[in-house]
Chain A
Amino acid sequence: MSSRANKMPIALRIVASLFVVTWVLMAAFPFVWTFWGSFKVELDFFSIADWTNALTGPRTQETYGSAFTGAGYHGAWVEEEFMRNVINTFIVCFFVVCTSLTFGTLGGYALSRSGYQYTFWLLIAALIFRAMPPITLVAGYMLPFFEWNLWGILPTTIIVLVAINQPFTLWMLHSFFQNIPKELDESAKVDGCTQFQAFRHVIIPVMWPGVITTGLFSFLLAYNDFAVTSMLLSEGNRTMVPQIAAFLGTTYTEGNIMFAVAAVVSATAPLFVLVMVFQRQIVSGLTAGAVKG
């Protein structure tokens, strides 16, 4: 790649660099802005009186004697115990990722190694399943879950998220496994392994790049989900996203927008870390063929 880049005409280089800079600004600016605003009071954050208020924070100055305040963070973390929601989110994410990858690798591997026509139709069915708006699915779950006393608890939400996530996981892993040469496990089987042993000893050691990438997508889905978590979790078991929505308030009652903004910034921080740590894996996992299908 570098050999090509070196030969690039200077004009093209400038255009490309400008484009990258513009894009990075577009991508990052809203986050920087929100982060900055999270240390202000609501009237400054929305700068309803004058847009420069969001930068200088005169109202914040007036209330707290300084242009920055941690009141939103204090409210969200101390008064509202946002920590509970953070813990719930991580419990949900951990189990969703583990379960979904276990189910997905087994299923995806089977789909990639079976030559029968039904595999194609299973993949298509999975695709159609993915088309279903989650909000309708959730409306359908409510009555049976209440009936069986399963509503409101974390395990129910986890298994539902795993199921909703399966189609995408299956597609990703199926194409990934297709790019692992069949000869590998065939030869193991010739040596007397069963299919499962072949999977365990030959495939598992080489599957990690694709699995990690798929796992990250599962994590994002579980972390970001609103439709399922807001409807299936009771108040005490809420994850971060529905809790942020609750901070915003309703018709009848005052929300506390600054708690929400502080919580938004807090909820975004782990994603920053995640992307920072795993970006190499995302790219290499995808490169290894998870999306060649």
Chain B
Amino acid sequence: MKHRTFFWFFLPTGLAMLLFIAMPIVSVVTQSLFTPHEAVLVTVETCTPFSCAQETTIDQEATAALREQSPMGRFVGFDIYTDRGHLAFSEVAQAWHSSDSFGEFLKQLNNLPFYRAMGFTIVFVFVVTPLVIVMGLLIALAVNTVNARLKGIVIFFSLLPFVITPLIGALVLFWMIDSRGIIGTALQWMAGDPSLSLKASTGLMWISLMIYGVWHAAPFAFVIFYAGLQTLPMDQIEAAQIDGASRLQRLRYVIIPHLMPLVTFVALIQLMDNFRVFEPIVGFNASAHATSLSWAIFNDLGGETRQLSSAAATSVITILGVALLLSPVLVRTWRDYKGKV
């Protein structure tokens, strides 16, 4: 295709992405390098319906003058990235020097918001992604054996957790796992411990979040693998059968290699989505036990005083994190691409 033709075909989508994604990314990166000006504080008398008192406020005229001089704010370079709320270089160094054992160091690291969020995010990504793929594959293989008349209804129910609005799905499950909800009560009964509460323990909360993650995303993997199974090369399977390959061997040497590109695709999407895990944390009210990078951004933007630079820095770190996470897949895609051309 000629460059010119390509340009016209690509223009609408390119323009949309340029305006609404690329430009905001540029502004986010800029934002993360600048902070608001030093506030000029003055103490004045403040009166409320209840009383008058001396309180500190911002001297607007002096601050306006500062803003006039440099409207972008103060340039701070990578200071935001290295402060306690993010990579926390000095705190990490201090923790390294002051702790006697590696376990102690990890404990101190876990006390820093960024590393705590990373801790949960990484565990979530690397537990949920493989489980989603395995679950999806098992469901697809199992559904494939179901009687043709029942297939429709089974597929229908299987897809539900995926199509449901994530926030709503999380809420529904959150209501059910309450210590007096049906699942919570069932667990108490099974464990024989009436004081068991999923929401009160960090470990159980993590497990609940991950179960939600798998429950929500497995149907996505399922439907894609199921579609893949419909295009299985029957001649190869029959050939393998004639060669005396067992069911398991056929799965291992014919079916899985056939589905491999789909596994890559699902892994790619899942790695990215799980790295940005957010809705279940809000839906489960789980921030006491688990936080993620997206939650940190939400928290920075949601306070009475919005911390835009901090949120911007976390966003940039998120993009870099995703890029890093996907790099093996991307390198593979690049090789495939080179091979094809």
Contacts and interface: CB of A to CB of B under 8 A. Distances in A.
Q: Is there a direct interface between A and B, measured as CB atoms under 8 Å apart in the complex? A: yes
Interface of A: 1-2, 4-5, 8, 12-13, 16-17, 19-20, 23-24, 26-28, 30-31, 33-34, 45-51, 54, 102-104, 106-107, 109-111, 113-117, 120, 122, 124-133, 135-137, 139-141, 159-160, 162-164, 166-170, 195-196, 199, 220, 223-224, 226, 241, 244-245, 264, 267-268, 271-272, 274-276, 279-280, 282-287, 291-293
Contacts of B184: 51
Nearest to B315: A136
B21 A163 contact: yes
Contacts of B159: 275, 279, 282
B139 interface: yes
B182 A140 contact: no
A51 B27 contact: no
A98 to B, nearest CB: 12
A131 B276 contact: yes
Given A114-B1, A241-B167, A279-B152, A291 B265 contact: yes
Given A110-B6, A132-B319, A164-B21, A139 B311 contact: yes
Interface in B277-330: 278-279, 293-294, 297-298, 301, 308, 311-312, 315, 318-319, 322-323, 326, 330
A contact patch SS: helix
Nearest to B139: A23
B contact patch SS: helix
Interface size class on chain B is 35 or more
B165 interface: yes
Interface in B1-60: 1-3, 5-6, 9-10, 12-14, 16-17, 19-22, 24-25, 27-28, 31
A166 B13 CA distance: 7
Looking at A2, A4, A23, which has the most chain B CB atoms within 10 Å of its CB?
A23
Contacts of B17: 126, 129, 163, 166-167
B175 interface: yes
B6 A226 contact: no
Interface stretch (B68-76, B108-116, B141-149, B200-208): B141-149
Contact of B326 (A111, A127, A267): A127
Contacts of A286: 223-224, 227-228
A167 to B, nearest CB: 7
B13 A170 contact: yes
A104 B226 contact: no
Contacts of A8: 145
Given A27-B219, A275-B160, 8 more contacts: A19-B138, A31-B160, A34-B175, A46-B178, A106-B13, A107-B12, A131-B275, A133-B293
Contacts of A48: 180
